[in-house]
Chains A and B, each alone.
Chain A
Amino acid sequence: MVLRSPLYENQVKLGAKFTEFAGFEMPIQYSSIRDEHFAVRKKVGLFDVTHMSNVWITGPDAASLISLTTVEDASRVEDGKSQYTEILRQNGTIIDDTIFMHLGDRFMMIPNAGMNQIVTKWLTEQAKKHHLKAKVEDVSRDYVILAIQGPSSKDTLQKLTDTDLDAVKFFGCEEVKVAGVECILSHTGYTGELGYELQITPTKKATTVFDAIFTAGAEFGIQPIGLGARDTLRLEKAFMLAGNEFEGGRTPLEATLGWTIYWDHEFIGKEALLKQKEQGTFQRMTCLECVEKGIPRHKCGIQKDGADVGIVTSGTLSPCLNVGIAMGYVAPDKREMGSFLDIIVRDKPIKTKVIKPPFVPKDWAQKQEAIVP
């Protein structure tokens, strides 16, 4: 069965073209990927990301359960804060990357699209196994998730809420009213721009918020954004897409997410990570920018001097840079910054340069405007 967002009819009216993603029929684009991409970099865009999952974790041991099952110690995460982390298997590979929000005495976790049942089951099993008093509840279908992203996102949203958005810090989260509808707001996103995400329940109230955001954002040039631009926007910032970057089982160390690991606590997969860290011979996520024409794609091979050294997990043309960009796993001794590697596109090598992420720096559009007279 293919699922649809409760906002499907709204998307049709806005002229969406649809695609199937993780069991959902979601908009791939409205006007065009490039056009939507620049709308988010320069103005503001609204995404329906209801395909993402919502899981409530409650009970006296809720924080302990999150600490056990992720690389973060949840007791460090203050009330009103959200945290990016990963859920690992015993062997250290990533089941899913996620954000959890600390909302008073409960936590809401946002697993990826299609991961709600897997994550819920895993957490429930671990709670039972470790005798933790925590309840894990998959409420994915009870929520619509909207993401409002871009330089004018704050000004747009501020028109619809009495909550002072300046007081909501980056990765802050709280329960607020937007257009009169109760939402969970977090100062987070997947575009690298100023932005917010809203969790809305019951879903029938989402249309009110959706419409109100478009009305409020009209003066800033707001546009609806599909999954196509969502992918190019995140790729320019070298953000991971679980289905691509963790495919086949990758650890946070391989994915260069070591910075997210709070080592000073016990968690599932820790032992395996310590072992891998000591060995040090694993492939690592590497960002490659094309210096020749060509567009790298998922599963293209990476070579150095004709020898295989890795594989591309995500690739696209960067709308901002107008060159091909790729993320992929490369052998540890073949990924020196500034060195050159070939990506094999249709049997032909395309020369690329190893760069330090992100591909597109913060506030890129504003800097562009400063250069262009």
Chain B
Amino acid sequence: MTHDVRDGLKYTKTHEWVKLAGTKAKIGITDHAQHELTDIVFVELPTVGKDVKKGEELCVVESVKSVSEVYAPISGKVIAVNTTLDDSPEIVNAKPYDDGWLVEIEVKDKAEVNLLLDAAAYKKL
């Protein structure tokens, strides 16, 4: 993988990242994913309070030409969404690991986080 992969984050094979802090986790898409999508022009975020199950559709990221689902890497309850993306979805391209985060959830089962890939494993994909 030639794109930026951050140490300390967990990853999925479908190019989402998870940043765990206590019982909360921020979720976004990886630099590789934003690069493949290019020109993100619309992000459809879930409603706060929604329960999500691992593997289910969490949000939708659209580029000019494509519509891509982002899947929940872990289960939990949505406690915050990145509303700045409503007006500036291009932040996901510019800063996929920082200001371009998508959703924050209250983690249901921390064991699920441990099952995700670490940076080294994700880099090998």
Contact of A232 with B by CB under 8 A: yes
Contact of A294 with B by CB under 8 A: yes
A293-B86, A346-B44 known; A32+B65 contact, CB < 8 A: no
User: Which residue of A33, A294, A346 contacts B64 across the interface (Cβ within 8 Å)?
Assistant: A33
Tally of contact residues, A, Cβ under 8 A: 18
> CB-CB < 8 A to A297: which residues of B?
67
> CB-CB < 8 A to B86: which residues of A?
293
Contact of A316 with B by CB under 8 A: yes
| Nearest neighbor of A231 in chain B, beta-carbon distance | B65
**Distance A28 CA – B67 CA, assembled complex (angstroms):** 15
Residue pair A319, B64 in contact (C-beta under 8 Å): yes
Which candidate, B3-11, B22-30, B34-42, is the interface stretch facing chain A? B34-42
Contact of B60 with A by CB under 8 A: yes
> CB-CB < 8 A to A231: which residues of B?
65
Interface residues of A in 292-322 (CB under 8 A from B): 293-295, 297, 316-317, 319
**Distance A37 CA – B86 CA, assembled complex (angstroms):** 23
Residue pair A32, B38 in contact (C-beta under 8 Å): yes
Q: What is the distance, in angstroms, from A227's C-beta to the closest C-beta of chain B?
A: 9
Q: What sequence of 0s and 1s flags, for each residue 36-52 of chain A, a beta carbon within 8 Å of any chain B beta carbon? A: 01000000000000000
**Distance A34 CA – B42 CA, assembled complex (angstroms):** 14
Contact of A156 with B by CB under 8 A: no
**Distance A232 CA – B64 CA, assembled complex (angstroms):** 8
> CB-CB < 8 A to A293: which residues of B?
42, 86
Contact of A114 with B by CB under 8 A: no
**Distance A29 CA – B64 CA, assembled complex (angstroms):** 11
> CB-CB < 8 A to B44: which residues of A?
346
Residue pair B65, A33 in contact (C-beta under 8 Å): yes
Q: What sequence of 0s and 1s flags, for each residue 56-78 of chain B, a beta carbon within 8 Å of any chain A beta carbon? A: 00001011110100000000000
* Residue with the greatest number of chain A CB neighbours at <10 A, chosen from B38, B60, B62, B64: B64
Q: How many A-B residue pairs have CB under 8 A?
A: 36
| Nearest neighbor of A229 in chain B, beta-carbon distance | B64
Interface residues of A in 23-72 (CB under 8 A from B): 28-29, 32-35, 37
**Distance A127 CA – B64 CA, assembled complex (angstroms):** 43
Residue pair B63, A33 in contact (C-beta under 8 Å): yes
Residue pair B42, A317 in contact (C-beta under 8 Å): yes
* Residue with the greatest number of chain A CB neighbours at <10 A, chosen from B38, B60, B67: B38
Q: What's the interface size class on B, roughly?
A: 10 to 19
**Distance A136 CA – B44 CA, assembled complex (angstroms):** 51
A232-B64, A316-B65, A346-B60 known; A294+B42 contact, CB < 8 A: yes
> CB-CB < 8 A to A35: which residues of B?
39
> CB-CB < 8 A to B42: which residues of A?
293-295, 317
> CB-CB < 8 A to B60: which residues of A?
346
| Nearest neighbor of B37 in chain A, beta-carbon distance | A32
Q: What is the distance, in angstroms, from A327's C-beta to the closest C-beta of chain B?
A: 16
> CB-CB < 8 A to B39: which residues of A?
32-35
**Distance A346 CA – B62 CA, assembled complex (angstroms):** 12
**Distance A37 CA – B39 CA, assembled complex (angstroms):** 12
**Distance A35 CA – B67 CA, assembled complex (angstroms):** 19
Q: What is the distance, in angstroms, from A28's C-beta to the closest C-beta of chain B?
A: 7
Q: What is the distance, in angstroms, from A234's C-beta to the closest C-beta of chain B?
A: 13
> CB-CB < 8 A to B65: which residues of A?
28, 33, 228, 231-232, 316
**Distance A295 CA – B38 CA, assembled complex (angstroms):** 16
**Distance A29 CA – B42 CA, assembled complex (angstroms):** 19
> CB-CB < 8 A to B38: which residues of A?
29, 32-33
Interface residues of A in 230-264 (CB under 8 A from B): 231-232
- Known interface pairs A32-B39, A232-B64, A295-B41; 16 further A-B residue pairs with C-beta atoms within 8 A, sorted by A's residue number: A28-B65, A33-B38, A33-B39, A33-B65, A34-B64, A37-B64, A293-B42, A293-B86, A294-B42, A295-B42, A295-B62, A297-B67, A316-B65, A317-B41, A317-B42, A346-B44
Closest CB pairs A-B (n = 8):
A33-B64, A317-B41, A34-B39, A32-B38, A32-B39, A228-B65, A295-B42, A295-B62
Question: What are 14 contact pairs spanning A and B, CB under 8 A?
Answer: A28-B65, A33-B38, A34-B39, A34-B41, A37-B64, A232-B64, A293-B86, A294-B42, A295-B42, A295-B62, A295-B67, A297-B67, A317-B64, A346-B60
